[in-house]
């Protein structure tokens, strides 16, 4: 089967197949743009795929998948859509084949030695260990005294003394250790890539007079994309046709859908609720919001924490400690075997690799609970905070709207509040946006009867009208009723201002005689808010603070209800960052949780900035931590994972120092041979790496819960 695209051709052939497993031969594998690791990474995020393994030498790809209807076709379609990537590798280093080759050579050399003459044994050993000796010499010249230099000295001494088996076995153990270390590090990177690599939304594009569907990242700038109800806008662009109601909450933080029509801007990641749009693409591929998670992860891995820098510093110091100890041992004993054993004790790998692997594992576990952390620095800082400041709207409260007030404006209209709500709900049930849903739900909760009406005339993103008992009722925005229908609400400006100052969203109602009423809606307190605040206190947070633009009386009541330590009401957007700075000035380490456009400065000023999933672009760009779920409990999950990850790192650090010091003592005392020293040291390093890779788990969490959560997040990441 062949896949043709303007930029790349990929062909494959199925060479073996059993239920749930495909083995494919891909001639281009290993060639330009088709690296085995890239192809594996491409297949991994697919929901049905359980494992993907590419072999450069055999030019084959093996894919294991969960059997279900259409799963096989989905796997093949995913392969066919592969295109070369210029994306940087998460883990630098040699290919797997290059890592395995030294071990194969070592084993072959060890197996052949008994059958060769002494001169041939020496020659074969010299050839086998030449790579290690060369690496040590190059490291010494370029970087100074590092662990590679000590390894080369130990093996070189064994070979020079005629201890050929010792030299070859030690070299094999070092190669095995390096391979397992790289494999563990690569696995930690692939966990993140598998979980978080976003999939582009599909797009309907007008090409040569036809409408065809392509992946969103294959849309070309200037092309026109059509988007219908329920579809995600796949590109950033300009509306050139149509009218629709669009939910931009995932991008701008605005909970209420907005009207989009020419020539307004459309943002990728937004969801079209009603209507249809024709959008001219202006930003595509890596420039759209669908590529942001991938860049976020890459940036996260590039950030080094203070803990990582300290681990590197201590690891380098211990290389000199090992070298000095070896020199002292030889000076006192003149025993080259002990010197070799000492040189093979390496603190460096466990310290240098264990810390970043633990951080990556922590990032993975956090993502499995709906949290994206920007590297080890974010984990480290979150574990150290003692004060958390919440911007109230969108954090302590959520985006589900609820009716708070029903106001009758025309007393002469012989309409009660109950009748007004029933009337508006009867008309609004024909719409599907959040405001309409909230009004209908309020009427249902009060058991109000449906009021018969004529056909509903709906103007997308403006409002609607209907005939009720021979009279026309109009419901919608103030702009719609005043500008389109000529119904003025100026006489009720004071009432409108009061409701708006309370942060409420207003639905305006009128008829041919003028204004009839108002329905006010507001976001509600999250059900998990109290529980989350209590969890944070048990995790060592000593101060919980709320910032809001609400009036003082309202803010004080909520703060008292939630048991907050402090609140700040009637705060202007530009004052938020100043408050954060004041907390820090008294010695507090502060995390700020927000989601709005005006939260950017506060997120930057805080020691840790946490952005809610419906946050505005600027909030998400400046935050250290992003929540993928609209769930406040994720903040407490993130804090628990951060503190446990730092505990794990400190435990691994103590284990690395303690165990390697014991091995060093055994080498100094002559108890351990060079082979035993190498075996114990590498075993310790691998054990610490696997412990770091295993990561942490939240209190009371089961294996089933973890698996279910991972599957859920994979679905989120894929859309």
The residues assigned a catalytic role are 391
Cβ–Cβ under 8 Å, residues 607 and 385? yes
- Residues 6+ away with beta carbon under 8 Å from 58: 25
Q: Are 632 and 532 in contact (CB under 8 A)?
A: yes
Q: By the 8 A CB rule, do 203 and 214 touch?
A: yes
Q: What are phi and psi of 587, to 5 degrees?
A: 95, 5
* Calpha distance 500→494 (Å, rounded): 10
d(CA 700, CA 153): 49
Q: How many other C-beta atoms are found inside a 10 Å radius of the C-beta of residue 617?
A: 17
Other C-beta atoms lying within 10 Å of the C-beta of residue 216: 23
Structure tokens that stand for 84 in this block: 């070369």
Q: Which long-range contacts link 144-153 to residues 24+ away (Cβ below 8 Å)?
A: 145/319, 145/320, 145/323, 146/316, 146/319, 146/348, 147/319, 147/346, 147/348, 147/349, 149/319, 150/319, 150/322, 150/323, 150/326, 150/343, 150/344, 150/346, 151/343, 151/344, 151/346, 153/343
CB-CB neighbours of 127 under 10 Å = 11
**Residue 232 gets which letter from DSSP?**
B
SS3 116: coil
- In the numeric block, which tokens belong to residue 152? 């080369």
Instruction: Give the DSSP H or E segment for 657.
Output: helix 633-668
What is the Cα–Cα distance from 271 to 699, expressed in whole angstroms? 36
Rounded Cα distance between 386 and 645, Å, is 17
Is there a contact between 586 and 563 (Cβ–Cβ < 8 Å)? Answer: no
Look at strands 566-568 and 543-547 and give their pairing: parallel
Burial of 452 (C-beta count, 10 Å sphere; 0-12/13-18/19+): exposed
CA distances to 34, 49, 65, 98, 707 from 42, in Å: 10, 11, 14, 22, 21
Number of CB atoms found within 10 A of residue 502's CB: 14
Backbone angles phi, psi at 651, to 5 degrees: -65, -45
What SS3 state is found at 442? helix
CB-facing half-sphere around the CA of 509: CA atoms within 13 A:
26
For 317, the token pair is 């110091």
């Amino acid at each position: 089967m062949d896949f043709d695209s303007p930029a790349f051709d990929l062909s494959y052939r199925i060479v073996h197949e059993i239920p749930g497993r495909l083995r494919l031969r891909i001639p281009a594998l290993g060639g330009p743009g088709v690296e085995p690791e890239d192809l594996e990474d491409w297949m991994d995020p697919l929901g049905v795929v359980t494992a993907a393994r590419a072999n450069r030498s055999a030019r084959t790809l093996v894919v294991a998948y969960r059997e279900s209807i259409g799963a096989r076709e989905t796997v093949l379609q995913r392969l066919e859509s592969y295109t070369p990537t210029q994306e940087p590798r998460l883990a630098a280093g040699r290919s797997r084949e290059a890592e395995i080759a030294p071990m194969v050579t070592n084993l072959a050399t060890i197996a052949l030695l008994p059958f060769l003459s002494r001169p041939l044994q020496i020659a074969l050993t010299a050839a086998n260990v030449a790579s290690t000796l060369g690496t040590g010499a190059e490291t010494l010249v370029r970087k100074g005294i590092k662990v590679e230099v000590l390894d080369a000295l130990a093996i070189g001494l064994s070979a020079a003394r005629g201890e050929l088996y010792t030299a070859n076995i030690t070299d094999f153990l070092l190669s095995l250790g390096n391979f397992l270390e790289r494999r563990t590090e690569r696995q930690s990177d692939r966990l993140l890539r598998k979980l978080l690599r976003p999939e582009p939304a599909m797009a309907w594009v007008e090409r040569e007079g036809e409408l065809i569907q392509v992946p969103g990242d294959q849309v070309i700038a200037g092309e026109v994309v059509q988007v219908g109800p329920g579809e995600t806008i796949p590109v950033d662009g300009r509306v050139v046709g149509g009218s629709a109601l669009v939910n931009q909450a995932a991008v701008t933080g605005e909970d209420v859908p907005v009207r989009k029509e020419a020539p307004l801007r459309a943002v990728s990641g937004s969801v079209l609720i009603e209507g249809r749009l024709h959008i001219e693409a202006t930003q595509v591929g890596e420039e759209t919001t669908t590529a942001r998670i991938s860049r976020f992860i890459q940036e996260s891995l590039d950030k080094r924490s203070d803990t990582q820098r300290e681990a590197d510093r201590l690891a380098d110091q211990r290389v000199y400690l090992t070298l000095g100890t070896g020199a002292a041992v030889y000076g006192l004993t003149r025993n080259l075997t002990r010197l070799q054993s000492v040189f093979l004790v390496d603190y460096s790998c466990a310290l240098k690799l264990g810390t970043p692997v633990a951080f990556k594992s922590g990032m993975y576990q956090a993502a499995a609970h709906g949290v994206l952390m920007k590297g080890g620095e974010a984990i480290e800082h979150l574990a150290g905070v003692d004060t958390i400041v919440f911007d109230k709207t969108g954090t302590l409260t959520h985006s589900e709207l609820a009716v708070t007030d029903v106001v009758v404006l025309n007393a002469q209209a012989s309409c009660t509040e109950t009748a007004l709500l029933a009337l508006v709900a009867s008309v609004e049930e024909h719409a599907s946006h959040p405001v309409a849903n909230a009004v209908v739900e309020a009427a249902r909760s009060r058991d109000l009867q449906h009021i018969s009406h004529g056909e509903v005339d709906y103007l997308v993103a403006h409002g609607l009208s209907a005939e009720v008992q021979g009279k026309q009722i109009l419901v919608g925005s103030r702009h719609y009723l005043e500008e389109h229908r000529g119904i003025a609400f100026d006489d009720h400006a004071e009432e409108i201002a009061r409701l708006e100052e309370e942060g409420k969203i207003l639905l305006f109602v009128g008829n041919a005689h003028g204004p009839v009423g108002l329905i006010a809606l507001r976001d509600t307190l999250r059900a998990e808010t109290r529980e989350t605040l209590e969890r944070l206190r048990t995790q060592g947070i000593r101060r919980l603070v709320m910032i809001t633009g609400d009036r003082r009386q309202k803010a004080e009541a909520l703060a008292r209800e939630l048991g907050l330590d402090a609140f700040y009401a009637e705060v202007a957007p530009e004052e938020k960052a100043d408050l954060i700075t004041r907390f820090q000035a008294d010695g507090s380490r502060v995390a700020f949780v927000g989601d709005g456009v005006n939260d950017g400065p506060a997120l930057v000023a805080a020691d840790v900035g946490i952005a809610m999933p419906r946050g505005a672009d600027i909030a998400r760009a400046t935050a250290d931590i992003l929540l993928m779920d609209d769930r406040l409990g994720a903040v407490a999950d993130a804090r628990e994972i951060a503190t446990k990850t730092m505990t794990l790192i400190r435990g691994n650090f103590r284990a690395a120092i303690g165990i390697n010091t014991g091995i060093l003592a055994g080498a100094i005392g002559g108890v351990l041979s060079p082979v035993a020293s190498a075996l114990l040291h590498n075993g310790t390093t691998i054990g610490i790496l696997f412990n770091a890779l295993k990561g942490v788990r939240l209190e009371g969490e089961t294996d089933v819960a973890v698996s279910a959560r991972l599957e859920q997040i994979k679905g989120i990441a894929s859309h």
